[in-house]
Amino acid sequence: MQPQKHILAFDDLPILLRQWLRSKAVIGPLARQDQPGFYYFDWIDPADADVERLAERLASGYVTTTIPPKKAFFPTRETLFNFAAAGPVVPKNEEHQEPFLLIGVHPCDLAALSLLDTAYAHPPADGPWRKRRSPATVVGIDCLPDQYCFCTSMETSGSRDACDLFLTPITSGFLAEIYSEKGKDLLRGIRTEPAQPRDIQEGEEFLHKKEAAITLSLQAGSEEFAEILDTVDLTEVWEQTAQRCYSCGSCNTTCPTCFCFDVEDTLDTNLTSGRRYRSWGSCQLLEFTLLAGGANTRGERRQRVAHRWYRKFLYLYKQFGHSFCTGCGRCSRACTADINIVDVSNDLIKRAKEKR
């Protein structure tokens, strides 16, 4: 749909945030106290919220968060049900089933939410994801890149997917693009003005400046890269990358599109009751493909490294028509071995072209 566009004054954003916090549960980017300059998505306590700083963070185009916004719909660890030796399984009551707000989501992460919507809707659809997505309203906001971003290569720099309201900071305030009735409702009770052509042009210029500031790029499009991975033997790159990789799983746990999970049962100390959890999984961990009896289908590190690229850029591209990478750069930022996904991908592309 063509969005309605309005101007929201900078000074009115704190007022709007307080209004949202009074009416709904809100999850948004919070500052990490232990790592200044780093942010993470989490639920905001209305009684403890520093609204002025949150508004300043949103207006300043903060770069990224360590943990992606998917945690609003897919918690890092959640109880599926409780059980006991005697008695039926007791499903856990779902939390946050009431309408809630996810705010401060950047374009690459909006694209990621759209990809996860597709993946989790694929039969058999994931129930918990669907239950949390339905009542959510998503507020996107434009951002500034750092040296790890390559969203232009993945065509997500201007994404408005999965978005109800999108804000771009311009001279006269925020250019507010409304994409749904839920997004329109968010601006009720606050003063806005219709956006003028110069405001819309300035919003487009913000995007162009952001894209021009991005220094990393993949040397092949998604279709060509998938074809390379599908047809060329690049074992030497997997082996070299595996020699550096620690198999810590940081790349997976910070990825906005990874959707694999692990399921485990934990017994209480009485040994007669317990609960079943599911938590974010990582295909880079040795235990991920460990089978009963001790067999492991990806027991070698190079196999796990290769699988990550095949999964992101080939398997899911074939299944859904999109690479499951948005160019957010979180995996490269988080990598304990300083492995950069763009450097490795371009090495794969370069060697594949040399072999042809």
Report pLDDT for 326.
Answer: 98
Report pLDDT for 330.
Answer: 96
- How far is Cα 248 from Cα 300, in angstroms, rounded to an integer? 14
Q: Are 275 and 266 in contact (CB under 8 A)?
A: yes
Residues 6+ apart with CB under 8 A from 293: none
Report pLDDT for 87.
Answer: 74
Q: Which two tokens stand for residue 48?
A: 């403890």
The 8 Å CB, 24+ separation contacts for 30-33 are 30/54, 31/57, 32/66
Q: Is 162 left (phi over 0), alpha (psi -120 to 50) or beta?
A: left
Report pLDDT for 152.
Answer: 97
Q: Is 327 left (phi over 0), alpha (psi -120 to 50) or beta?
A: left
- How far is Cα 257 from Cα 317, in angstroms, rounded to an integer? 13
Dmax (CA) for the chain in angstroms is 69
User: Among residues 58, 2, 56, 23, which one has the least CA distance to residue 187?
Assistant: 23
How far, in Å, are 41, 119, 261, 323, 329 from residue 74 at the CA level?
12, 13, 10, 20, 20
The answer to pTM > 0.95 is no
- How far is Cα 342 from Cα 356, in angstroms, rounded to an integer? 21
Report pLDDT for 1.
Answer: 65
Would you give per-residue pLDDT tens digits along the chain (356 residues)?
A: 689 999 999 999 999 999 999 999 999 998 888 877 788 999 999 888 889 888 888 887 788 899 999 999 999 999 988 888 887 777 665 555 689 999 999 999 999 999 999 999 999 999 889 999 999 999 999 999 999 999 999 999 999 999 999 999 999 999 999 999 999 999 998 999 999 999 999 999 999 999 999 999 999 999 999 999 999 999 999 999 999 999 999 999 999 999 999 999 999 998 899 999 999 999 999 999 999 999 999 999 999 999 999 999 999 999 999 999 999 999 999 999 999 999 999 999 999 999 87
50-98 per-position pLDDT tens digit = 898 888 888 877 888 999 999 999 999 999 888 888 877 776 655 556 8
Q: Are 104 and 43 in contact (CB under 8 A)?
A: no
- How far is Cα 269 from Cα 271, in angstroms, rounded to an integer? 5
